[in-house]
Amino acid sequence: MSSYQPYMPPPTAVDAQQPTLAPDYGQQSWAANQYPVQPQNTVWLGEHPGANTIFVLGLLSLIVFSPLGPFAWYKGNKAKKECEAGWYILSGNLQAGRIMGMIASIVLMVSVGMFFLFMLSIVIGVFVTY
């Protein structure tokens, strides 16, 4: 016994042509203007999972506790490298947190330097007599 297969006539020259969606009047058909087709094997990469943490660290380092700034800067640079490697998308929260961490770190360094200069001036002022 053989399986049933309906008779199919051989293709003709008209059947071998590429099918068209609509007659060509100098414009594409409406179907070609719809949403683009996404390839099957692509993966949407979201923002870095630590982006919000870095943003909060940067914000807190500017407003509340400036020693958090270097941590936000370090984590932001590390996450940026991962984004540039193609693992994640570089988001605005990540960039903003990283930059706020930089600003807070620079403010911290300047304020610590000024503190030491102030302390040095007091020590020199105590030992110098007129």
Contact 89, 47 (CB under 8 A): yes
List the structure tokens of 126.
Answer: 């105590």
Predicted local distance difference test score (pLDDT) of residue 8: 61
Q: Is 17 contained in some domain? A: no
Q: Is 2 contained in some domain? A: no
Span 66-89, pLDDT tens digits: 999 999 999 999 999 988 888 888
Q: Averaged over 13-42, what is the pLDDT? A: 54
Q: Is 112 contained in some domain? A: yes
Q: Is 95 contained in some domain? A: yes
pLDDT band at 20 (very low <50, low <70, confident <90, very high): low
Predicted local distance difference test score (pLDDT) of residue 86: 81
DSSP 10-68: PP-TTTTSPP-SS--SSS--GGGGSPPPPPTT-----B-TTHHHHHHHHHHHHHT-GGG
Contacts of 70 (CB under 8 A, 6+ apart): 101, 105, 108
Q: Is 10 contained in some domain? A: no
Residue range of the domain that includes 76: 47-127
CA distance 94 to 80: 8
pLDDT band at 128 (very low <50, low <70, confident <90, very high): confident
List the structure tokens of 52.
Answer: 């919000």
Element (H, E) at 69: helix 69-84
**In the chain, how many domains are there?**
1
Q: Is 20 contained in some domain? A: no
pTM passes above 0.85? no
Q: Is 67 contained in some domain? A: yes
Q: Is 93 contained in some domain? A: yes
